[in-house]
Amino acid sequence: MDTPTRGDSIFWIEVERIKPNPFQPRREFDDGKLAVLADSIRQYGVLQPLVVTRQEVTREDGGLAVEYELIAGERRWRASRLAGLQQVPAIIRAEADSDQTKLELAIIENLQREDLNPVDRARAFQQLIDQFNLKHIQIARKIGKSREYVSNSVRLLALPEDVINALVAGEITEGHTRPILMLSDRPEEQKTLFQEIKVKRLNVREAEGIARRIAFDRARKKERIIDPDIVELEQRLTEKLGTRVQVERRDIGGKVTIDFFSNDDLHSILALLDSQKKELTPSEQHTEQAFLEAEIPEAATPATDLSVDPPVDEAGEVDLYNIKNFTI
């Protein structure tokens, strides 16, 4: 067989003379999928040629040897080796490529095939930024995407390591990372939300709703003096009901917000309240029943606001901590 020369034609090149692209952004290669591709290659061969560059290297004896470096098609090359092929079809690029071009071509090929997971894509973009001083807008133009697409991808690298690993493993989606990133300045809340997404299998919309409520609550607390009694009430209710509980105090009265994610959660909360009711003494049950049967003032919002006129203590002051001032 003639030695391949540079050009746009397809040549058959020995598998062992091809080296992987050192700038390959893809780090995860599924062994099971490679085995399936290898079986296909054994039956039908490599249907799409690899893309390589030709390099001359000096041997130990002073002579020259020809090697080839992958630009595109590493998955096919790996599967061909697994299938036991001696040669594979390849296109030899006419000009030697710079390191930047090799990385750009590898990224573009993987993006076109949708072979990169979000984290590998983010790392590839970051490499273009760090190593070649490219701006987000420049990367976007090269890959045919928007600047926001590049910026949002790079932001993934700011996630905690356990979240990044879950994203690579497919335990969460890229959409789930947006609400998690919203809580980057509150690591404990961020960790809790991440666990809720995995354990409760929250969809993206549910996760975003929780993140927004937390962000709103943070802004609300900055605007007022934090009442330690309210904070303690929130903590106690959260522990008691086993879900996030938010207490909002108003000038008169207030409301309690209880998070739930399914009908089972609602049934569990109701069962817990029922069990607490059974523990009440007869006089306490009578007081509770009287409260439940009390007429709701006309000023209250129908169906959604169960607040009643706040009780007044013996000194004539409004008792803001009475349970009657809160709604669920």
Q: What is the CATH number of the domain that holds 27?
A: 3.90.1530.30
Residue 16 annotated as catalytic: no
Calpha distance 145→105 (Å, rounded): 15
Instruction: Note down pLDDT in tens along the chain; length 328 residues.
Output: 444 444 457 889 999 989 887 777 777 777 888 888 899 889 888 888 888 888 777 777 777 888 888 888 888 898 999 999 999 999 887 665 677 777 777 777 666 566 678 998 898 888 888 888 889 998 888 888 899 999 999 999 999 999 999 999 899 999 999 999 989 888 888 999 999 999 888 999 999 988 888 877 665 555 455 677 777 787 788 777 777 777 777 777 778 888 776 677 777 778 877 776 665 556 555 554 554 444 444 433 333 343 444 444 444 444 444 444 444 4
The residue type at 13: I
Instruction: Kindly state whether residues 192 and 251 are assigned to the same domain.
Output: no
Q: Are residues 217 and 307 in the same domain?
A: no
Q: From the candidates 56, 60, 74, 148, which is the catalytic residue?
A: 74
Question: Which of 259, 101, 260 shows the shortest CA–CA distance to 109?
Answer: 101
Q: Which pTM value belongs to this model?
A: 0.53
User: For residue 117, what are its two tokens?
Assistant: 């997971």
**In terms of domains, do 246 and 313 share one?**
yes
Contact 69, 18 (CB under 8 A): yes
**Structure tokens of 284?**
């306490």
Residue 190 included in any domain: yes
Residues 248 and 174 in one domain: no
Q: How many domains does one find in the chain?
A: 3
Backbone angles phi, psi at 261, to 5 degrees: -125, -5
Task: Provide the H-helix boundaries in 147-203.
Answer: 147-155, 161-169, 174-182, 187-199
Range of the structural domain that residue 32 is part of: 1-97+108-113
Query: What whole-number distance in Å separates Cα of residue 198 and Cα of residue 245?
Result: 20
Residue 2 CB neighbours (<10 A)? 6
Start-to-end C-alpha separation, the chain: 81
Task: Examine residue 46 and state whether it is found in any structural domain, yes or no.
Answer: yes
